[in-house]
Amino acid sequence: MSDNSIIRTEKLSKCFKGKIHALREVDTEIHRGEVVVVIGPSGSGKSTYLRSLNLLEEPTGGRIFFEDTDITDPKVDINRVRQKMGMVFQHFNLFPHYTILKNMTLGPIKLLKSPKAEAEEKAYALLERVGLRDRANAYPSQLSGGQKQRIAIVRALCMNPDVMLFDEPTSALDPEMVGEVLDVMKGLARDGMTMIIVTHEMGFAREVADTVFFMDEGTIMETGTPEEIFSAPKNPRTQSFLRKIL
């Protein structure tokens, strides 16, 4: 364990009711500023792994350390921990009854107790960055998929998270909109954000990832740099998976 570790899982396991072992004793370590891309076949447990990190999925075994706190400890206020872990979903999950601005400032105002003006100023700055400043007062239903996902990203950023979790952020998008979302994520990576990304965009993974996790059957089969994983996979499972999709 190095000092700049931000998330560490120890024997993380998740067993769903129907005796489905979605995660089997997963040990991982993620460092500050690291961009981790998780790849693997469907049903391999990528989403479950990611969602376990902020306890949206409650692990049935093992421990998760976030900034050196064991967040599986029932005494830990998980809501405070989640404020530090932004999450972006495949289906955006914007709040349809609030404007874009309210979507973004709701968390900071209610949870961080930021003054409204300050929260809005930050929201506008982030909107500016993703080129959607003029849509601040629109409702989510008035936006395209790509725009929605960009808003979902900046909504999470408004909380000043230390880590960003992405679960297939581009899978629900029309192909022509994938680029605009990936660009935002690349920008984030450049700025040094710690990111864990589940994706099927291999080109993107190769470009931005510091580390690639290959998951199958609830375990991390292989870990390495994009170079190692994509060019010279060691595990036969990885090899066959990459053969299928590349």
Ligand X SMILES: Nc1ncnc2c1ncn2[C@@H]1O[C@H](COP(=O)(O)OP(=O)(O)OP(=O)(O)O)[C@@H](O)[C@H]1O
Binding site for ligand X (CB under 6 A): 16, 18, 20, 22, 40, 42-48
Reduce the DSSP state of residue 174 to 3 states and report it: coil
Chosen from Mg ion, another protein, ligand X, none, partner binding at 96 (C-beta under 5 to 8 Å by type): another protein
Tokens at residue 114, please? 């930021």
Nearer to Mg ion by C-beta: 47 or 54? 47
What does residue 135 show for φ and ψ, rounded to 5 degrees? Answer: -100, 10
Is 48 a binding residue for Mg ion by CB under 5 A? The answer is no
Contact 188, 33 (CB under 8 A): no
Tell me the CB-side half-sphere exposure of residue 48, using CA atoms within 13 A.
Answer: 26
Q: Residue 47 or residue 199: which is nearer to Mg ion going by CB? A: 47
Grouping H, G, I as helix, E, B as strand and the rest as coil, residue 130 is coil
- Contact string 65-94 vs another protein (x = CB under 8 A): --------------xx-xx-xxx-x-x-xx
Least Å distance, CB 134 to Mg ion, is: 33
Q: Whole-angstrom Cα distance, residue 214 to residue 83? A: 28
Give the residue with the Cβ less far from another protein, 95 or 232.
Answer: 95
Per CB under 8 A, the list member of 130, 159, 177, 196 interacting with another protein is: 159
Report the residue number whose CB is nearest to ligand X: 47
Q: Which stretch binds Mg ion (CB under 5 A): 42-50, 70-78, 80-88, 97-105?
A: 42-50
Of residues 181 and 229, the one with the C-beta less far from another protein: 181
Binders of another protein in range 176-235 (CB under 8 A): none
135 near another protein, rule: CB under 8 A: no
E strand map for the chain:
5-16, 20-31, 35-39, 61-66, 69-70, 85-88, 163-167, 194-198, 211-216, 219-224
What's the CA gap between 49 and 23, in Å, rounded? 7
Q: Give the number of residues in contact with another protein, rule: CB under 8 A.
A: 27
Q: Residue 86: beta bridge partners? A: 164
Beta carbon of residue 15, minimum distance to another protein (angstroms, whole number):
12
